[in-house]
Structure 1
Amino acid sequence: MKKNISLFLMLFFTVFTFAQKTVSGKITDDDGVAIPSASVTIEEPGKDAILAYGITNSKGEYKVTFTSPEPNVDLKVKAFNQKPLTKQVGNSDQVLNFKMQSEATEIKEVQLKTKMITARGDTISYDLKAFNSKNDRTLADVMKKIPGIEVNTDGTILYQGNAINKFYVNGKDLMEGGYGTINNSLPKDAVQKVEVLENHQPVKILQDKVPSDQAAINIKLKNSVTMTGRGEVGTGFGDSWLWNVKLTPMFFGQKSQWVVNYKTNNMGEQVENEGNILAFGSGWEGKRSNISQNNWLSVENAEAPNLPVKRYLLNSVHYLSANYLTNIDKKKEWELKANANYTNNAVERESNSVTTDLQQGTQYNTRFLNNFYTDKLKGELIFTKNAKKGFFKNTTTFSQFWNGDRAFAERNDKIGYRFGNEVLQSPTTSFQNSLSTIIPWKEKMVNFKSYVSYQNDKQVLEISPASYLQFPYKEPGSKDFTTIKFTPGSNALQSFRIKSLDTSHSANISFSTKGWTFTPQVGIDFSTDKLTTNFDGSTISNSPDFSTPAYENDLKFTRVNPSASVGINYKSEAWSLFSSFPVNFNNIKAEDEFRNVSKSLSKVTFTPNIFAQYSFASFFKASMSGGINNNFGDIQTAYAGYILTSPGGFNVMNPKNPIPQTTTKNAGVRLEYRNPLNNLFFNVGYRLSDAKNNLLASSAVNELGFSVIEYIERENKRTSNSYYAEIGKYFPKFKTNASLSFSNTNSKSESRRNEQDLNTKNDANSLGFKFNNTYFSWMSVDFNMTKSWNKQSNGVIQNNLGKTEGYTHNLNVFFYPLESHTIGFYWDQINSKLGDTKLNNGFFDVSYQFSWTKKKVDFELKWMNIANRKVFEKISVGDATIIQTTMQLRPSQVMFSVKFNFK
């Protein structure tokens, strides 16, 4: 591995082989008046390739840094109404001032042509018209085609492979990270351009003081006041009547913005996740997260295929959301935001599996049929002041869940056929409040942060009949496992409740001088969790009595963590440094008086983190990062009684075990290149992670697939190192955007199964290719492909059994035979291979669309899953198992839809 790291570092620092040079100066006209916005480029003589560029500021000043092996370079200056000039200069640091001669710039036609990609400082702007095709309708349709930008299946936007931290519309953050609704429903015709704000620090008072390594997206609309939105109404049939309704009106003004969104369908579109937080901003803004339940218990779940959701999701969903922003003062510094959403969703899923246990030489069949019911409400109120002279943000969030899951499970194994009905009810109430304020004090800044969270989870899991369960059980003092025998016709019931209070308070003061910012901070985190569980079930002879304390928990888990740290940040034109050096005083206590359990831990830890980035030659950014993190577990690793977390197995913690401890060390290097002048973007990097644990997972799995998982005290490690690279380019002459990506990850981990140690090694590789073309007026093409190949071994899984391959592609081709008419062809292909077993799954759709251009209305007829493929096949590898699964898919269906803009 050291050899691999050395090779990478050699490549990483090749860019520094030739010393960087800087040319700076001032550009004026004949009268000595400064010329702003003049372009200054550095080129190698005789080559039509720009090495670096710069733009003069309002004072006519410029500065260009470049790297070249040539002894001389060409410096070119261009400005409006000035005669262009070119001068060959030496490859050295120097100051050069220029006077330009006046020359009227002749405009032959009254026509403005904007560049597809332009850059000014840390802002890169994309002209949306350059990347869209005739079939694109929304911002998301076009965003996927912009070089340097990716849109994941969950809606997350990536720039140069990293998630953005903010999503603005006309400079305002209406959605507070939940930007999926706007991205999916904002008409492309309303957008003037997409701006990428590199190294974006969203807190204005910290700009030029505390750097950021993340980018933000700003959507600049054509009009400062815009009423727009997107709607769709559809109906159709498959094996039953289908519907699809989408109504998303939007308003973006100078003082206020709002978005209202209602979506409902039963034809396989997953719209309920649009409200998820995808961008979390800066830690200086306080703490925000996607609220989720403490899902300790679950029914047995059918597998979901690795397909586009529309292929398999059997749903009936209603999703309603509203987002509102308004300025509440004349200076437009204070904002009030109110967000709310409600989800009602029912999902059906089914799968059949054949599991081969290589360790025990057994095989069994399972079938799971699920009904998942989601009923949740979320509301959020946010007050914000984000100004150069101060910052304040208070976020109050309330959430309520009324979820329930159902499962019908069948098993066929050595003891015959059995079935079980499984029911889980899981209501949750959750409340959070986050406050952060930054107050200027002379030349200093004082920051106070406070976070309070309370959550109450209650879950009840019932299995009928209990004789469906067949758990391994070991009598005290015995080395052999027997099987728990439940009374025929009886039910098993696992109850669970946890009440959690989590608080965090801190204060810091920042000093800034000559680009450096020093931030000493003190804080205290306090959390307490109260867990109560009980398992009820009746057994016959030679089986344990569930009335014993072994199946009950009454645990209180408390954590008190005072901390002191200093942050050291530096920001200059070329360098960005962010570092933190915290000392944590960890105090943890777990008590269960009913079970006579008491554990505690007091430990001081030092967990430094550092990120450094260097920008050079106008287009390059090199960065390094590293850090140490300590985790001392939570209540989920401290209880001592058995809990039936799933009908497939009990979990238990040994009461004699200490508090779990995990120490993780990570490091990474990265090189980025983004050149808007020739539309080329690439990034390459390496990551290393090493995690050391004091507890090891040990599972007892019987030949029927039921398990009991406990943890033993033994040091073990998980290591991972990965390489990745991505390159993308837009070819304007051919109206083509293409990108290629590759990643390799090697990981090692330890576990224990049926008294056998498993040292798992995994070598995972992935190759991706994306291509879209709008060159022809009668056709456009979108193609995405991923090829993966993995090798896993652990002593049980080895040789060909551990070699898996996968191939996935998505091809969309649109034909435009006549004006306003579009014919679409869609092909999804998913192939998998394990040893000699190959599984190929292909899906095809066709569509016809007529566009009423004047009214901006589309009429679409679409036939999905033409071949009526009803199941998806997959083969996968576990710790000691090979699992071949078939999963239920949506049948062939035909939909007629009317799509329109609100304005």
Structure 2
Amino acid sequence: MKKYICFLLLFILSIISYSQSITLKGVVKDSITTPLSYANIIAIPKDTAKTMTFAITDDVGRYNLSLHQERYTITVSYLGFETYNFELDAQQDIEKNIVLKPKENQLEEVVIEIPVIVKQDTMIYNADSFTTGEERKLKNVLKKLPGVDVDKDGEVTVNGKKVTTMLVEGEKFFGGGSKLAVENIPADAIDKVVVLDNYNEIPFLKNLSDSDEMAMNIELKEDKKKFVFGDIEAGKGNKDYYRTHSNLFYYSPEINANFIGNVNNVAETTFTFKDFMNFQGGINAVFRGDGLSLNSSRSDFSQFMESQDLVSRSSKFGALNITKTVNNKLNVNGYAIFSDDNSNTFEETQNQYVAFLEDKESTTNSKNILGIGKINFDYTPNLKEQWYFRTQFKKSDNFKNNNISSIVNFNNNLINTRKDAIATLINQNIEWHKKVSNKHTFSFVADYVYNKNNPNTFWETNNSILQGLIPIIDEPIYELSQLKETQRNNFETILKHYWVLNNNNHVYTTLGNRFSNDQFSTYDSQLLNNGSTNNFNTSGFGNDLDFKLNDNFLGLHYKFRTGIFTFKQGGYFHNYNWKANQTNTTKKQKTIFLPDFLSEIEFKKSEKLKATYQLKSTFSNASKYANQFYLQSYNSVYRGNELLENELFHSARIRYSKFSMYKGLMLFASVNFTKKIKGIQNNVEFDGVNQFLTPILIDNPETRWNYNGNIRKKIKNINYKFSVNYMSSNYIQFIDNIRNKNKNNTSSFEMSAKTLYDDFPTIEIGYKRSLGKYVSGNTNSKFTTNEPFINIDYDFLKGFIFSFDYRKYNYENKEFNQENKYELGNATLSYRKENSAWSFKLDAKNIFDVKFKNQNSFSSYIISDTKTYIMPRIIMLSLGYNL
């Protein structure tokens, strides 16, 4: 660890000594000495080959500019004031206070391209002020904007807050997910990036509903409107690897159309699980927050999207998004998405159980087809009324074939599992929002969801499995079959009333009903060699459950604001009625109150403290209530419990944020607390590797704390980042009907330094260290993970771009004598001549040709050491064309 930290410190010192910077600082005021916050100071170098520098004043009017030793024109501007200009020969640190005069004639304003404009909940970035023309996609632009981050999964954050909705020209881009946008929108089409905090798509609800959403709107350049633009790329790699990708865009005042296509066999995933969740549909966020959630099965396409470590993958992806403005009252938009994915995985695992050791190999082949379509009608009869009509359809067909070789005490068990799952989802909802007067506003939604899943599973093995748990008949080859069907009909209606007593006092009333009807059935059997069937239904198998849940709820909240403080308190009364109709019928009824609380302190626009608390309730999916046995996997049998009730838990969070462009500082800290009062845990009974599981409802099963801190500081032309995370959980687990207390504590910190020089590569070098401790009964496990990393981006020789990322992974667990090491690296070199439509790219994935990754896991009854094999080194040459 010490050598990594020393190397990082030496890197930082060497970069600091790389260039001498001059500081220009001071205060911007008006003619009566009132500080002007969020004024813009722009330094334009006389050498036009150099990049301009800018700063924004803080809450007390201070600014701070880092300049090179050369001549500049300094421009200071503020809305409603005359622009102030002066010449500067930057040879030493200078302190200069500036006084701006009010404009005498507002009608003669001169439009100035200001890099960043901050006003209330909106930040507007002028993209050309931060880019050099070498950027390829939206993500490259966003990474250069102050306060904006884009991670490897395409998730965007601004000043530490996640962007939840992505817009282009004010319309949602493929449902509002960020990944498809940041990976595909061409950089040269972007004019401005507008960040909208506390976003609400219904304008007159913005100051009424407690939206914590953040949206990002991409405004396009004028020459990209009414014009088809985008790019097409094709590449060929070593062996048989290939990749083709296309993005086509058309925007006009009447119609917008986007198409994204990708075909590859290099495990490039255009559509991720996070994107899938964004396309799930559902109702507007303003109707959420009543404290109840209904868990649903994830046995459809989503479960196949999480694996990233693959031996091979081939994918076909196409997406079309169209928006049509019919007139000034009606807007129609929709999208269609198709994905066809074939993948293979291979894992080697050593499982250490309490009394024996298992060596296991697992090979999986899967084919997954998904289609999603959605159409929306947005009708705005006037500025005080809004209607939405939304219809979504999703269909998936997924096939998975898994082969396992399990060796226990020199006995080799071969198990083949084949699973075919067809899932269908239909979602229809209608929303209405009406501002009746300045004091009274109403919102109403009716939402219907139909979700059907038909997974069929077939197991084949050479040894008898699940002996004593299933009524199996001896055969040379054992063949087991399961037909399972889950079907849910869910209907919700919610009416909200916003009563504005005055600007500082609001009363909210919510009235709603949620009805859910779940049907769950299973049929397990053994297929015998003589063609007959050994039906397990005579031995307690075979489920046919009809589960109904009706929830009537009433919510009442009072919100008031005084000075820098905002408070909101209230709660929801829920009346639950549920019935599980199967071999016997169980009926239950319960009334419960779920209080919640919100408090916010806004010390200033850039510094906030927010605390929230809510008592939440959760109902499990129908399979947990099914009281007959059914096969869960090749070595486990599951039986539900019709006596289960809702889970109940406290959820609280405190979040502090502060950012200062003057100081180049961003600071975030949060504490999350969750305590289950009533919770469902599985009781696991073991017979060798075989498991019998059943859910039980227990008191105080889990308590969890999570602490996060993140600080970023810009000094001269270097960004420093330090983050820390600590998680502590205590939970109850039942093994063979014995109550076990488990403790899991993990902590990590990460520090890095990133250069921001105009004529020097952008280099980020950092180090991450993770510590973990797991305690269960007599098991005590500690692990340490060290991860040094480096990322490089370099624009050179007018048109060349080089990028490189490297991470070394070192895992150590001394108690179990485990130590795993591997390193991963990727590099890309691209070239595009100025004003040319053609581009070339050479990229290499898995440069060190690592064969597998090591992963370790442990619990109260098993310790696992897993090797997951990954794709080999791939070198690919691509040719691109920009439209």
Q: Distance in 2 between matches of 1:183 and 1:846?
A: 20
- The corresponding residue for 1:316 is 314
1:403-437 Cα shifts (integer Å, max 9, x gaps):
11111111111261121221101111211112110
Shift of 1:28: 8.5
- The corresponding residue for 1:781 is 763
Q: Distance in 2 between matches of 1:299 and 1:513?
A: 45
Contact 1:286 1:434 in 2 (8 A): no
Contact 2:678 2:697 in 1 (8 A): no
Shift of 1:760: 0.9
- The corresponding residue for 1:513 is 501
**1:185-196 pair list within 5 angstroms:** 185-196=184-195
Shift of 1:369: 0.6
**1:537-686 pair list within 5 angstroms:** 537=526, 546-570=536-560, 574-592=564-582, 595=583, 597-654=584-641, 658-686=643-671
Shift of 1:827: 1.8
- 1:276 matched to 2:264? The reply is no
Shift of 1:292: 12
Q: Distance in 2 between matches of 1:129 and 1:406?
A: 51
Q: Distance in 2 between matches of 1:49 and 1:275?
A: 35
SS at match of 1:189: helix
SS at match of 2:628: coil
1:807-854 Cα shifts (integer Å, max 9, x gaps):
345433244553323444432322222224221111234443222222
User: CA 1:286–1:686 in structure 2 vs 1: closer, same or farther (change >3 Å)?
Assistant: closer
Give the AA of the match of 1:647. Answer: Y
Q: Distance in 2 between matches of 1:346 and 1:101?
A: 65
Q: Distance in 2 between matches of 1:775 and 1:298?
A: 45
Q: Distance in 2 between matches of 1:215 and 1:642?
A: 46
Shift of 1:317: 0.6
Shift of 1:872: 1.9
Shift of 1:640: 0.8
- 1:772 matched to 2:754? The reply is yes
Match of 1:348 among 340, 344, 350: 344
User: CA 1:235–1:728 in structure 2 vs 1: closer, same or farther (change >3 Å)?
Assistant: same
Deviates more, 1:772-781 or 1:187-196: 772-781
Q: Distance in 1 between matches of 2:213 and 2:339?
A: 31
- The corresponding residue for 1:441 is 436
**1:761-840 pair list within 5 angstroms:** 761-775=743-757, 777-783=759-765, 785-798=767-780, 802-816=781-795, 818-835=797-814, 836-840=817-821
Deviates more, 1:630-639 or 1:394-403: 630-639
Q: Distance in 2 between matches of 1:873 and 1:322?
A: 39
- 1:375 matched to 2:362? The reply is no
Deviates more, 1:482-491 or 1:643-652: 482-491
- The corresponding residue for 1:81 is 82
Q: Distance in 2 between matches of 1:284 and 1:321?
A: 28
- The corresponding residue for 1:418 is 413
**1:158-169 pair list within 5 angstroms:** 158-169=157-168
Contact 2:627 2:639 in 1 (8 A): yes
Shift of 1:587: 0.5
- The corresponding residue for 1:725 is 709
- The corresponding residue for 1:203 is 202
- The corresponding residue for 2:149 is 150
Give the AA of the match of 2:404. Answer: A
Match of 2:687 among 691, 696, 702: 702
Contact 1:174 1:257 in 2 (8 A): no
- The corresponding residue for 2:217 is 218
Contact 2:614 2:651 in 1 (8 A): yes
Deviates more, 1:381-390 or 1:721-730: 381-390
- 1:450 matched to 2:466? The reply is no
1:239-258 Cα shifts (integer Å, max 9, x gaps):
x4111111111123333322
- 1:744 matched to 2:726? The reply is yes
- The corresponding residue for 1:23 is none
Contact 1:126 1:195 in 2 (8 A): yes
Contact 1:299 1:423 in 2 (8 A): no
User: CA 1:275–1:757 in structure 2 vs 1: closer, same or farther (change >3 Å)?
Assistant: closer
Give the AA of the match of 1:717. Answer: P
Match of 1:892 among 868, 873, 876: 873
Structure-1-length-normalised TM-score: 0.80
User: CA 1:194–1:262 in structure 2 vs 1: closer, same or farther (change >3 Å)?
Assistant: same
Structure-2-length-normalised TM-score: 0.82
Shift of 1:40: 12
Q: Distance in 2 between matches of 1:857 and 1:727?
A: 41
Contact 1:147 1:728 in 2 (8 A): no
1:350-390 Cα shifts (integer Å, max 9, x gaps):
10101111xx2210111111111111111101112466411
SS at match of 1:284: helix
Match of 2:836 among 855, 861, 867: 855
- The corresponding residue for 1:7 is none
Give the AA of the match of 1:356. Answer: Q
1:132-156 Cα shifts (integer Å, max 9, x gaps):
5776311112324544333344333
Q: Distance in 2 between matches of 1:27 and 1:302?
A: 56
Q: Distance in 1 between matches of 2:779 and 2:797?
A: 57
- 1:408 matched to 2:403? The reply is yes
Give the AA of the match of 2:867. Answer: T
Q: Distance in 1 between matches of 2:749 and 2:254?
A: 46
User: CA 1:695–1:171 in structure 2 vs 1: closer, same or farther (change >3 Å)?
Assistant: closer
Q: Distance in 2 between matches of 1:258 and 1:437?
A: 27
1:108-134 Cα shifts (integer Å, max 9, x gaps):
xx997744x442222223344565577
Q: Distance in 2 between matches of 1:225 and 1:141?
A: 19
- The corresponding residue for 2:359 is 365
User: CA 1:648–1:230 in structure 2 vs 1: closer, same or farther (change >3 Å)?
Assistant: farther
Q: Distance in 2 between matches of 1:156 and 1:784?
A: 20
Contact 1:150 1:158 in 2 (8 A): yes
- The corresponding residue for 1:495 is 483
- 1:325 matched to 2:323? The reply is yes
Q: Distance in 1 between matches of 2:576 and 2:295?
A: 26
Shift of 1:334: 3.0
Q: Distance in 2 between matches of 1:646 and 1:329?
A: 55
SS at match of 1:140: helix
SS at match of 2:544: strand
Shift of 1:716: 3.8
1:727-785 Cα shifts (integer Å, max 9, x gaps):
22445x52x44432111111110011134322111111122335433415252324465
- The corresponding residue for 2:169 is 170
Q: Distance in 2 between matches of 1:53 and 1:192?
A: 30
User: CA 1:636–1:797 in structure 2 vs 1: closer, same or farther (change >3 Å)?
Assistant: same
Q: Distance in 2 between matches of 1:77 and 1:712?
A: 64
Q: Distance in 1 between matches of 2:331 and 2:491?
A: 26
Match of 2:455 among 454, 459, 463: 459
Asked which structure has the greater RCO (Cα within 8 Å, sep 6+), the reply is: 1
SS at match of 1:819: coil
Shift of 1:788: 1.5
SS at match of 2:478: coil
Contact 2:559 2:569 in 1 (8 A): yes
Instruction: Point out where structure 1 has 5 or more consecutive residues left out of the alignment.
Output: 1-25, 42-47, 56-75, 85-97, 105-109, 475-481
User: CA 1:523–1:114 in structure 2 vs 1: closer, same or farther (change >3 Å)?
Assistant: closer
- Taking every aligned residue pair, what percent have the same amino acid on both sides? 15
Contact 2:40 2:57 in 1 (8 A): no
Contact 1:742 1:768 in 2 (8 A): yes
SS at match of 1:142: helix
Deviates more, 1:165-174 or 1:565-574: 565-574
RMSD between superposed Cα atoms in Å: 3.8
Number of residue equivalences: 794
Give the AA of the match of 1:315. Answer: R
